[in-house]
Structure 1
Amino acid sequence: MPAEHDQIAFVTGGTGFVGSHLVEYLLENRFQEVRCLVRTDPKFLKGFPVTTVRGNLSDRAALAEGIKGADTVFHVAALTRAKTWEEFLEANVEGTRHLLETVRSVNPGIKMIVITSSLAAVGRSEMDIATEATPLRPISQYGKSKAMMEEIVRSFMSDLPIVIVRPPAVYGPRESDIFTFFQSLSRGFCPIVGSGEKDSLSLVHASDLVRGMAQAGRSEKSAGETYFLGGAAQYNWNEIRDASATALGRRVLTIPIPPFLVGAIGAVSELVGKLTNTYPPLNREKAAEIRYACLMCDHSKATADFGYAPDKDLWSGIDETIQWYRKENWL
């Protein structure tokens, strides 16, 4: 594979949270050209020296424009929240199919395609910590769409060099979902399911994740493989609360929520979302994932195959994230 400064990358989802961090990493590592699929608003890409390709995952002409001559495709675009299953299906499953069909048609000699999936594809598991061998039994529609997407992706692996990466929960500057947790703490309250004492969550900082994605994209071992890309450790909610409170510089009141109440709270939140035409931070599916899904992963396979070594510790990572929220007036 040519040196990174001789390479061309095509990124879908580059305007979003993880995608923009990936674009930033690729530019810092002197990729010759970074092309980004952009529907309308460049959002977090503003100011970055990227080549903009206008279109979406259903626009095969736009996909072809971005893919022709590219060395690596990073597919990050996805819907994490939607009002219907059909929206998840169109964006996460059919959109990925369109992308791979276009690669096969216009650039069959591409060096690598990195597909971003999610730990949510695993869902229910008897294991506390998922490995790549853990069966997929997703709970949420999002997780089901990612599992279905992976099945589609594997059907292309005999024709194309593809690697699937599965991050767990991702945090860092520009993140807007976990942000609601930090927002609650900034107001002095910290809801925690159960005692919060047991390690129960893999959390990866965006900077660690995108470095791992780039490593997977240039590894000679990764084609045809699936990898978890987790954080430096497994965490419990009390650790996350304490690191966040310290970064915020304030005391917070912990509000313990009995696990059996999470489903009811999710149902009420979902109803409010329907009445207000908004996406609630918690719904019945998210509540079920909190109670029953495997939320931790083991990234030792990625470490063994291409040296993945996340090094952002929780306290500095959360501090950096909260300072960004404050700078951008999110908090």
Structure 2
Amino acid sequence: MDETVPPAPLTDYGISKMLGEKYARQYMDRLPVSVVRAPAVYGPRDKDIYFYFRLAAKGFLPLVGNPDRRVSLIYVKDLARAIFLATTHPAAVGEIFFATDGKPHTWREVADEIDRAIPGRKIRVRLPGWIMWVAAFFDVTTSFVLRKAPLLYFKRVRELLGEWVADSTKIEEKLGFAPQYDLARGVSETAEWYRQHGWI
């Protein structure tokens, strides 16, 4: 998917980002607005993909749903560079850019890199996608009873089980963005940060 595809967010968080873009673009005649859309972002302090690192440290590598479904990722430091370019490069004004590490990855590849970055023997656990729907049902129900926000909800499951590939050609060609972290380097640095800070 590239920047010409109309956004169709699945979660409330995605909708909030889309509305933020919409409001920012209303000021384009007065401010130099540019938009950077990031896919799954990972790196130090991340708590979404951290779940996989934590399970790997405990000896499990889960593969949920189709492990060959693809996803675009970007390491947080590369995203910071992309945002800096979009705020300083004159060609960025009025434009929308996807920023990725330049290559879609399968969840199997992500699991392989996490396996390499975290020493120790691990059991690979294949879980069918429907397990996520069941887990979401129990989380939503329990959260309702306890009056807490659920961590896993149905829209999020739909997002997690989907294939999300973004094309970052535009930011590379127009602004000269070149990601410095491939998946192996980014996962390795992330795992090291988690170790140093006692997260795993």
What is the aligned counterpart of 1:197 among 54, 59, 68? 68
**Corresponding residue of 1:287:** 157
| Structure-2-length-normalised TM-score | 0.91
Does the alignment pair 1:300 with 2:180? Answer: no
Deviation readout 1:85-140 (Å, 9 max, x if unpaired): xxxxxxxxxxxxxxxxxxxxxxxxxxxxxxxxxxxxxxxxxxxxx21011111111
Which residue of structure 1 aligns with residue 140 of structure 2? 270
2:149 counterpart of 1:318? no
Q: Determine if contact 2:35/2:97 at 8 Å carries over to the other structure.
A: yes
Q: Secondary structure at the match of 1:184?
A: helix
Matches within 5 A, 1:44-193: 130-193=1-64
Q: Is the CA contact (8 Å cut-off) linking 1:157 and 1:224 kept in structure 2?
A: yes
Deviation at 1:258, TM superposition (A): 1.9
1:217 maps onto 2:76 in alignment: no
Deviation of 1:197 after TM superposition, in Å, equals: 2.5
User: Cα offset for 1:327?
Assistant: 0.7
The 1:163/1:139 distance shift into structure 2, 3 A limit, reads same
Distance 1:176 1:194 in 2: 21
How many residue pairs are counted as aligned between the two chains? 200
Q: Deviations over 1:206-259 (max 9, x none)?
A: 111111111111111111111111113211111111111111112222222222
Kindly indicate whether residue 95 of structure 2 is the aligned counterpart of residue 228 of structure 1: no
Matched AA of 1:202: S
Question: Do 2:9 and 2:18's aligned partners in 1 also have CA atoms closer than 8 Å?
Answer: yes
* Counterpart position of 1:328: 197
Write out per-residue CA displacement over residues 171-219 of structure 1, whole angstroms, 9 at most, x where no aligned residue. Answer: 1112122211211111112222224124x11111111111111111111
Alpha-carbon separation, structure 1, partners of 2:194 and 2:134: 30
**Would the aligned equivalents of 1:180 and 1:281 in 2 still touch at CA under 8 Å?**
no
Shift of 1:291: 3.1
Between the aligned partners of 2:140 and 2:59, the Cα distance in structure 1 is 24
Structure with the greater alpha carbon radius of gyration? 1
- The amino acid that maps onto 1:315 is A
Distance 1:165 1:175 in 2: 19
The 5 Å alignment of 1:237-256 reads 237-256=107-126
Shift of 1:278: 5.3
Q: Distance in 2 between matches of 1:173 and 1:260?
A: 30
- Kindly indicate whether the alpha-carbon contact (under 8 Å) linking 2:2 and 2:98 is maintained by their aligned counterparts in 1: yes
| Distance in 1 of aligned mates of 2:87 and 2:192 | 31
Residues 195 and 136 of structure 1, relative CA distance in 2, 3 Å threshold: closer
TM-score by length of 1: 0.57
Aligned counterparts of 1:276 and 1:191: Cα–Cα separation in 2: 28
- CA separation of 1:256 and 1:280: change in aligned 2, threshold 3 A: farther
> Is contact 1:194–1:258 with CA below 8 Å preserved after alignment?
yes
Question: Which segment drifts farther, 280-289 or 134-143?
Answer: 280-289
Counterpart AA for 1:183: R
Contact 1:303–1:309 (8 Å) recurs in 2: yes
- The percent identity for this pair of structures is 31
